[in-house]
Structure 1
């Protein structure tokens, strides 16, 4: 396929099994991270939130507010936090991602990261507000690092998750694409 500079490659359709497996894997990584090395440190990025935004932007017909809500309930149960805290934040995050998905895809990867930073900040602010209302415990100022780290993870996750869609469906020597 001959492409002029600046054009984007056409992508294959996303495999629904790959989408589901990536979301479940992100949930498991979040759960393992909460139990493991860092515990529930406020600065640790939420990989599930990053993947929910990614798939809500790239596949809004498959990953939407309902799926985000269910994964949020799973995180609430796992962390034994206020039931609905993550669910509300993930649902709002997914709604905002779907609302801006057409506009976001026109930007370059660094610009996209800057555009999703406010989304992650809003989600963490919702969790912070609900935590303060529910228990009154302040997580410390390090919670402001998590949205920045998540925005920095955006280009990495985009490259990794779009790689299967960039592969040739049936490559051979005369038809590399």
Structure 2
């Protein structure tokens, strides 16, 4: 049997579980880089997933604590969709993915890790990003640190915003 050592994962295993709602609490703290908040819109914000499926995996959530998609206001829905466009442009600029998975997990049975606060996932995908590791060893290889991805995506968002303002 071969072993794959991933000693950096122990920090996630041993980390205390967060008792509040990250989508409510983190934006109030004004520690955006530490909390991986990439961008703040009027009614919603973009935050990196601390346990990413792929590099650049982000979530877009409304500031208001709401657990049902159908209860979002028109303003919240529009802001979430506009931020998804911004993020896709930024991800294309920064990471050049071949495609994206976008999704909303509603309810535990659908895979929602945080059921009480709806959010939209955007996961960049590359041709060949699935390899033998998940199949053989139930292990996902993430080739970039969260800090590096944060800095790269933050710059890419600023670039997209500057391009949009020059139009």
Task: Please report the TM-score for the alignment, with normalisation by the length of structure 1.
Answer: 0.31
Please say which structure displays the higher CA radius of gyration. 1
